[in-house]
Amino acid sequence: MKVLLINPSIYDFAAYSFWSSPLGLLYVGSILRKNGADLRFIDCMRVIEAKRKADGRAPFVKERVAKPDALKGVRRHYRRYGISREALTRELSCIDEPDLVLVTSIMTYWYPGTKEAVEAAREIFPGSRIVVGGIYPSLCEEEAKRHLQKADLIVKHNEAERFYRFVEDALSTTLAFRPSIYDLDALPYPCYDLCDEIPFVPLLTSFGCMYRCTYCATPYMHPSIVRRSPSSVLEEIKHWHGHEVKRFVIYDDNFLYEKERYVKPLLRGIAELPFRIDIYNPNAVNAALIDEDLAELFCESGFQELRIGLETTDPDTQRSTGGKVSTKVFEKALAVLTHAGFDLGNVSVYILAGLPFQKWETVKEAIDYLFALGVRPYIAEYTPIPHTEMFERYCRHARYPIKEDALYQNNALLPFAWEGFTENDLLYLKRYVKGKRAPVRSEGGLTG
Ligand code: B12
């Protein structure tokens, strides 16, 4: 069974390798490899190696491209991040026709790249079976079927069985190894060994979340929580360390959940390894769950920085979006971290901006609050996500038809801009966070 994996290019207004990686696709690849498949991998998301930072991140190669009709009115440059369709076609032409082509999608609004990869593969390999999976079909099933008509199968996150059956029928084979994706300890390690360089490896430590934040789709996709055993994560770290990997990135909506049983033993195990690793957590942890032991373990296990979610300092917004943490609890967590010796200069705190009917001043207040505490504010623009409470409740107030086309779900478009929070306000806040000479904010827009 010859299988080609494709991580498509991205079309967006901005994109940076924020430790993004096609983890789901590489898991599926290694499951098929356990069934005897011969794998090839084309990662369209090439980066500029010379500009790779010490933390493993690097800018993607990029090129300005024309906007699709749906985004024609947007006054920002649109780019392709990753290789062009022509370059992909050339690479496809150099390999034998595979039996199966697997294409992933990481954000809903990145579907144009997925569509392009499917169509390029269909053109070069008319006899291959093409399967698409990932976030786009999981959250926009009907739309994905309309846009990805050249694919033979489109699967959602929880349809592994359907995928296995399709492979068996299409290739007249039997898959002896067909794990549930929720059996995290039984999954083979994702096939990063197919990459020439492995700048970092994401560690998938759980599925699901204990919270029900109104803006997040995780409870819709993964209603129950499953966790991976600390020993399985440790074994994976040792495995990749044997491949010279030193940086690890935690992919987890809920890393500190059941911390006594999972996170503390894991971090203790990492601290006791005979080698040091660097750990990053782009998915924030909840301040309410940070205690003294954990604060020490973050220091001892190799957290280079810590990302914490605060979302807002406005008590009403905090309550209505999920109520995970209060400022009092947040301050206590910072005190505990300081006591353990964690440098607050290396703590980044996510603040949500652009929520429906949010006022820009409330975001500024949160930024000032964080500056005063000595931590780094990080503005996360609100992304309206299908199947979330907030999306359904407010979609008719968005300035774009976010329900009709996933392209409009892109947070770079600030879909919920209104007179109380304009694009200029966002620009002002971003410059303010960076400490640049903040332009003077006036009713008419920015000056200075
Ligand atoms: C880790 C993560 C990230 C990572 C990177 C993810 C990546 N893979 O590159 C980082 C931290 C960079 C990130 C950033 C953001 N993220 Co995020 N992220 C996640 C998270 C927690 C896990 C994704 C993941 O990799 N899971 C693990 C893998 C194994 O699962 P999977 O990708 O679902 O794949 C499974 C299946 O789909 C299948 N599969 C995947 N591909 C294929 C292909 C084939 C052929 C087949 C058969 C199967 C298959 O295999 C897997 C196992 O079953 C999800 C929430 C969630 N629980 O899914 C949010 C999520 C994807 N992120 C989301 C958001 C909003 C963001 C941000 C916009 C947040 C912000 N405001 O800044 C940014 C965007 C940054 C950017 N522009 O680059 C949203 C989706 C938004 C959308 N419209 O698509 C999600 C769903 C969370 C939410 N709030 O609801 N994110």
Query: Above 60 in pLDDT, residue 446?
Result: no
How many angstroms separate the CA atoms of 167 and 272, rounded? 42
Task: In the chain, count H helices and then E strands.
Answer: 15, 19
Kindly indicate the confidence band of residue 202, based on its pLDDT and cuts at 50, 70 and 90. Answer: very high
Examine the domain organization and report whether 222 and 130 are in the same domain. Answer: no
Total structural domains within the chain = 2
The residue to mutate among 107, 182, 308, having the most atoms of ligand 1 within 8 angstroms of its beta carbon, is 107
3-state secondary structure of 223: coil
Examine the domain organization and report whether 155 and 204 are in the same domain. Answer: no
pLDDT tens for 151-200 read 999 999 999 999 999 999 999 999 999 999 999 999 999 999 999 999 99
Closest CA to ligand 1's atom 75: 18
Examine the domain organization and report whether 161 and 205 are in the same domain. Answer: no
pLDDT computed for residue 137 by the predictor: 98
In a domain, 22, yes or no: yes
Contact of 215 with 386, CB cutoff 8 Å: no
Closest CA to ligand 1's atom 31: 24
Query: Ligand 1 centre from 107 Cα, in Å?
Result: 6
How many angstroms separate the CA atoms of 54 and 58, rounded? 9
CA–chain centroid gap for 257, Å, is 19
pLDDT computed for residue 440 by the predictor: 54
How many angstroms separate the CA atoms of 246 and 276, rounded? 8
**CATH number of the domain residue 99 falls in:** 3.40.50.2300
Kindly indicate the confidence band of residue 447, based on its pLDDT and cuts at 50, 70 and 90. Answer: very low
Pairing of strands 247-251, 201-204: parallel
Examine the domain organization and report whether 281 and 321 are in the same domain. Answer: yes
pLDDT tens for 7-32 read 999 999 999 878 999 999 999 999 99
In a domain, 178, yes or no: no
Q: What percent of the chain has pLDDT over 70?
A: 97
Examine the domain organization and report whether 160 and 259 are in the same domain. Answer: no
Beta carbon of 135 within 6 Å of any ligand 1 atom: yes
Examine the domain organization and report whether 167 and 315 are in the same domain. Answer: no
Whole-model pTM: value is 0.96
In a domain, 183, yes or no: no
**Which residue segment(s) compose the domain that 387 sits in?**
200-447
Closest CA to ligand 1's atom 60: 107
pLDDT computed for residue 17 by the predictor: 79
Kindly indicate the confidence band of residue 218, based on its pLDDT and cuts at 50, 70 and 90. Answer: very high
pLDDT tens for 258-295 read 999 999 999 999 999 999 999 999 999 999 999 999 99
pLDDT computed for residue 448 by the predictor: 39
Overall average pLDDT of the 324-349 stretch? 95
pLDDT tens for 341-366 read 999 999 999 999 999 999 999 999 99
How many angstroms separate the CA atoms of 106 and 18, rounded? 13
pLDDT computed for residue 379 by the predictor: 97
Query: Ligand 1 centre from 185 Cα, in Å?
Result: 20
Could you say which of 171, 192, 214 is where a domain stops? 171
pLDDT computed for residue 436 by the predictor: 56
**CATH number of the domain residue 392 falls in:** 3.20.20.70
Write the DSSP string, 160-225.
HHHHHHHHHHHHT---S----TT-TTTSPPP-GGGSS--S-EEEE-EES-S---TT--HHHH--S-
Examine the domain organization and report whether 41 and 126 are in the same domain. Answer: yes
In a domain, 15, yes or no: yes
Tokens of 146: 């309309």
Q: Closest ligand 1 atom, CA of 410?
A: 83
Contact of 216 with 209, CB cutoff 8 Å: yes
Examine the domain organization and report whether 115 and 248 are in the same domain. Answer: no
Overall average pLDDT of the 412-438 stretch? 91
Furthest C-alpha separation in the chain: 67
Examine the domain organization and report whether 215 and 150 are in the same domain. Answer: no
Listed residue (395, 423, 411, 426) closest to 109, CA to CA: 411
246 φ, ψ (degrees, to nearest 5): -115, -20
Closest CA to ligand 1's atom 50: 24
Examine the domain organization and report whether 288 and 404 are in the same domain. Answer: yes
Beta carbon of 204 within 6 Å of any ligand 1 atom: yes
